[in-house]
Amino acid sequence: MFDDSDDIHPLFSGAPSTTEFKKLRKRIVRQTREAIEHYGMVQPSDHDKAGKPARWLVCLSGGKDSYTLLAVLYELKWRGLLPVDLLACNLDQGQPGFPATVLPEFLERMEVPHRIEYQDTYSVVMDKVPQGRTYCALCSRLRRGNLYRIAREEGCSAVVLGHHRDDILETFFMNLFHGGRLATMPPKLVNEEGDLFVFRPLAHVAEADCEKFAKAMRYPIIPCDLCGSQDGLQRQQVKQILDQWERNSPGRRQVMFRALTNARPSHLLDKNLFDFSSLVLNDPEKSEDSDGIPRLR
């Protein structure tokens, strides 16, 4: 893990030497690498016309998840397992009291190439969203539009987000309970314009592991006071349900997540995914092989 080497990236300097932390770090790295490989986030053709490797815009909010994302991507790159260039990006959305110097100072100290962008989307959200309604939908849409623009300006082929396994599960149940559809955050997608990928390399990583990792590394966490100041959010309610299920049956989150990777269209009800009308019964005249021996089922 480079901990005994002088040739270590600043992001990992001061990492705890305990066995527990090393296991945690190894697990997060392994799960992230699995997601990158499983969902084809890196392709042999990911080079520009000059032969340079693809460039990823790594979105850094200052929360535990995005710090974990940045660190694990750099670890994979440091090991030669991620042949892409990384550009960290923080979008300062103009929230009152946002500590604007924390991330720039951290990224400078960590020697991480980065871009800090200021766009006052906070005022737009506060002006457009009626009192009592949640800010998340408009806030995320404005943030996403700015990140896509920045990615294009910086020559990036992908916008990389820090959503983890629990975010994906919560979104699934929000769609199930409130949206009337079976859908969640995909680990890899193409934006509506068709010119950028959106990756979620932490798709297999548990939120608790992100929290333990960022806390152990003493990364300067910046809370999101905008949506965090609202009570009764649907996502908070779903999270409470999942927390209760996990307490009653430890490991249930992972079982549910595994179900998302094991969908059976023939056992759902969407006729656009499975052609139910073409199902036919076996023809008795064709139920035997040519030698007269009944086929085994």
- Residue 80: its pLDDT value, please? 92
Mean pLDDT of all residues in the chain? 88
Q: How far apart are CA 168 and CA 183, in angstroms?
A: 9
Which CATH topology does 10-226 take? Answer: Rossmann fold (3.40.50)
Closest CA to 85 of 120, 50, 117: 50
Interval 23-39: pLDDT, tens: 999 999 999 999 999 99
Average pLDDT over residues 256-285: 92
Residue 10 CB contacts under 8 Å (≥ 6 apart), including other chains: 109, 110, 111
85-92 sheet: strands from edge to edge: 114-118, 85-92, 55-59, 158-160, 197-199, 188-190
Give me the residue spans of the domains in the chain. 10-226
With contact defined as beta carbons under 8 Å apart, do 214 and 64 qualify?
yes
pLDDT over 70 at 285, yes or no: no
Q: What is the pTM of this model?
A: 0.87
Closest CA to 73 of 61, 85, 89, 91: 85
The structure tokens listed for 266 are: 């023939």
pLDDT over 90 at 275, yes or no: yes
Average pLDDT over residues 103-126: 91
pLDDT over 80 at 284, yes or no: no
Q: How far apart are CA 204 and CA 89, in angstroms?
A: 23
Interval 46-87: pLDDT, tens: 665 667 899 999 999 999 999 999 999 999 999 899 999 999
Backbone angles phi, psi at 118, to 5 degrees: -105, 120
Interval 191-233: pLDDT, tens: 999 999 999 999 999 999 999 999 999 999 998 665 554 545 7
